[in-house]
A and B are shown apart, each in its own frame.
Chain A
């Protein structure tokens, strides 16, 4: 019976391509949407992941950087430095603002860095300097390339003119990038307050970041301290919590489309073979065997579609960055498991109609010529 299923499936190549292609595209819908949001999650925490800090200290109650604001009094720096286990503390200023290059305006996380910052600077500098001096800015290479500027050119940040002194990479996302200026310039542009946004703490060797974060919260009032891993996970959760409902709706539509395609192709294939199934029944084949053939055929089609859908998603993930869009498609294992389960549901449900039809097939009718086409 399994051989029959395979033969049925591969007999019409065009039909097989359409079946596997339809399922592949439906699964591609689900995989791509997941991959886009996974990519956005990865991109949104890129700065934190690459900051080099072990613990992020923020204003009390502030547990995010993206779409958030934090303000700590200058005195917090000394208080955190005094906590046992702290190796170094780098204060940074942060605001979501705009890098203006000529007429183009690019949303960016603007980071103000102190002299000799030990954490929080660009992780990968591809040209020029890694830390900005007063009057200098370090911007993302892709933004510079798009606007046609390079080292030594002028950009405007926080309404002030800066000279591009360095180009970074790896911290850009679909809508924003990261730009670095000196803390001195940042302060002057933002009304000269001596407050800082975050304190980036490095732990002494052997001190677990989670213990250090707890100790900082105990000993310094008015702050929230989180390990870099916790802080980055919180950033990713904003995207996940925001997109859960949207993903659920789109996944359902994608699954229904896949189901319709599979149901159509499985039904069409069984319909075409009705006479053969009738003959098999007349020769003594049991309903259970014939049903198994149909289910196996559906499973095989979906497996082919799943493989093709996966290949297409990886291909898309490789091609999209070449278009210049800062869109990252990331395929993760939990997404594959989900799509695998959906595929099984599609295969099982699509076989229902033909299975019912086979059950009702009257073998005697074959000899009356009622089933052939």
Chain B
């Protein structure tokens, strides 16, 4: 133990550089996972805060954000007539691409009736739209594009005035915009069109049984809100999980190499000392232990540093770029530390081989 510690701290700059290397690799892994987790929370925000526990969509559509839904005419009335339904909130939603001073900004447009609900849940300034040329935009989106109350901008072929700012309605990919449902119908040129119905069950009515009762309505598909959130997460997870896993894998390899280099160099430099230890009877497992311990200490320090760096970096990124939400979950931190241990064990393999192959007698020949 003392030998491992002495070997490790003898060259402090080298140790510090290796700890920084591992910390940066762990930082990258944690940031990537934090982005993904934050993105899942951001894309679920609308459904989590909107009324109802069952969502009625066009037949075949199981996502809020993945596909455009258009319900058959009369679907809202059919749903309202089903036993156990307390309220039905219709929305007309659609992705739009806004052009702000030459930048393309995707936004998810929600057309709703302010008297019924389905709009922004946390207004920080202004009011909800009362006319068909009024819009509520996310505060972060407004800040990013220097917009404020009273400013006008174009959505498709119409001009809208910002009358309110909402919060908790943005992500790095897209932001929510809220206009009156009649305004949205005018934009897509389909009068009376509805994308989704947000259905609340009566008191004492189970959402799952209501969903089953709603499933008989032709041309529609009913899902629990939780199912739809899971489907959206799955869809976006499909988009991002492969690249993120790839990047995290590369970061893991880099961390392993960094620890490996330090332990390898320290072992090669101390080859004679290990030889002496072998010559005086130290078994290979003791020497393996010394090498592995050095790797574990270096990577543990790097992992802890990486967790601290990730927390600091996440807070800086979210302050400078508030559209990013980075959530560092305890499970991800645990995973990162486990990755650090994995790096150490892998990194110790090569030095352990050197020690194992060391002929003790050679020490005395030099």
Instruction: Give per-residue flags for B232-272: 1 if the beta carbon is below 8 A from chain A beta carbons, else 0.
Output: 00010011001100110011011001101110110011000
- Complex CA gap A124/B103 in Å reads 33
A11 to chain B, nearest CB (A): 12
B301 CB contacts on chain A under 8 angstroms: none
Task: Flag whether B80 is at the interface (Cβ < 8 A).
Answer: no
Residues A190 and B94 in contact, CB atoms below 8 Å apart: no
A172 to chain B, nearest CB (A): 13
- Complex CA gap A190/B243 in Å reads 36
For A266, the closest partner residue in chain B by CB is B17
Known contacts being A29-B28, A68-B97, A264-B261, is A325 close to B247, with CB within 8 Å? no
Task: Flag whether A51 is at the interface (Cβ < 8 A).
Answer: no
List A5-56 residues whose CB lies under 8 Å from chain B. 12, 14-15, 18-19, 21-22, 25-26, 28-29, 32-33, 36
Partner among A18, A25, A156 whose Cβ is within 8 Å of the Cβ of B264? A18
Tally inter-chain residue pairs, CB-CB below 8 A. Answer: 195
Known contacts being A64-B104, A68-B95, A267-B14, is A98 close to B62, with CB within 8 Å? yes
- Complex CA gap A368/B61 in Å reads 81
A38 to chain B, nearest CB (A): 12
Instruction: Give per-residue flags for A45-79: 1 if the beta carbon is below 8 A from chain B beta carbons, else 0.
Output: 00000000000000111111011111101000000
Closest 9 CB pairs of A and B: A159-B59, A60-B157, A67-B95, A264-B17, A71-B189, A260-B21, A64-B97, A61-B157, A238-B104
Interface size on B, residues (CB 8 A): 74
Known contacts being A25-B257, A96-B67, A97-B61, is A263 close to B28, with CB within 8 Å? no
Residues B261 and A15 in contact, CB atoms below 8 Å apart: yes
A64 CB contacts on chain B under 8 angstroms: 97, 104
A197 to chain B, nearest CB (A): 10
Partner among B17, B28, B59, B66 whose Cβ is within 8 Å of the Cβ of A96? B66
A135 to chain B, nearest CB (A): 17
A26 CB contacts on chain B under 8 angstroms: 254
Residues B96 and A237 in contact, CB atoms below 8 Å apart: no
Residues A158 and B60 in contact, CB atoms below 8 Å apart: yes
Residues A325 and B242 in contact, CB atoms below 8 Å apart: yes
B77 to chain A, nearest CB (A): 16
Residues B253 and A98 in contact, CB atoms below 8 Å apart: no
A352 CB contacts on chain B under 8 angstroms: none
Pick from A80-88, A200-208, A250-258 the stretch touching chain B.
A250-258
Task: Flag whether B9 is at the interface (Cβ < 8 A).
Answer: no
Residues A22 and B155 in contact, CB atoms below 8 Å apart: no
Task: Flag whether B56 is at the interface (Cβ < 8 A).
Answer: no
Residues B21 and A257 in contact, CB atoms below 8 Å apart: yes
List A179-219 residues whose CB lies under 8 Å from chain B. 190-191, 193, 195
B247 CB contacts on chain A under 8 angstroms: 29, 32-33, 250
Residues A268 and B261 in contact, CB atoms below 8 Å apart: yes
Task: Flag whether A288 is at the interface (Cβ < 8 A).
Answer: no
Residues B24 and A21 in contact, CB atoms below 8 Å apart: no
Known contacts being A96-B68, A253-B24, A261-B21, is A159 close to B219, with CB within 8 Å? yes
Residues A97 and B250 in contact, CB atoms below 8 Å apart: no
Task: Flag whether B190 is at the interface (Cβ < 8 A).
Answer: yes
List B127-176 residues whose CB lies under 8 Å from chain A. 154-158, 172-174
A264 CB contacts on chain B under 8 angstroms: 14, 17-18, 21, 258, 261-262
- Complex CA gap A257/B309 in Å reads 13
List A115-129 residues whose CB lies under 8 Å from chain B. none
Task: Flag whether B177 is at the interface (Cβ < 8 A).
Answer: no
For B257, the closest partner residue in chain A by CB is A22
B246 CB contacts on chain A under 8 angstroms: 32, 316
Known contacts being A36-B243, A107-B67, A241-B104, is A18 close to B260, with CB within 8 Å? yes
Instruction: Give per-residue flags for A316-333: 1 if the beta carbon is below 8 A from chain B beta carbons, else 0.
Output: 100000000101000000
List B315-347 residues whose CB lies under 8 Å from chain A. 317, 321, 323-324
Task: Flag whether A345 is at the interface (Cβ < 8 A).
Answer: no
- Complex CA gap A263/B15 in Å reads 12
Task: Flag whether B105 is at the interface (Cβ < 8 A).
Answer: yes
Residues B63 and A107 in contact, CB atoms below 8 Å apart: yes
Partner among B18, B96, B243 whose Cβ is within 8 Å of the Cβ of A69? B96
- Complex CA gap A175/B323 in Å reads 23
Task: Flag whether A228 is at the interface (Cβ < 8 A).
Answer: no
A60 CB contacts on chain B under 8 angstroms: 156-157
Known contacts being A22-B257, A175-B238, A257-B251, is A100 close to B103, with CB within 8 Å? no
B198 CB contacts on chain A under 8 angstroms: none
A107 CB contacts on chain B under 8 angstroms: 63, 66-67, 235
Task: Flag whether B25 is at the interface (Cβ < 8 A).
Answer: yes
Residues B103 and A191 in contact, CB atoms below 8 Å apart: no
Of the A-B pairs whose beta carbons lie under 8 Å apart in the complex, a sample of 21, sorted by A's number, is A15-B265, A18-B260, A59-B157, A61-B154, A61-B156, A61-B157, A98-B62, A100-B60, A107-B67, A107-B235, A157-B60, A159-B59, A193-B190, A238-B104, A245-B323, A253-B31, A257-B254, A260-B21, A261-B21, A267-B17, A373-B269
Central interface residue in B14, B17, B28, B219, by most chain A CB within 10 Å? B17
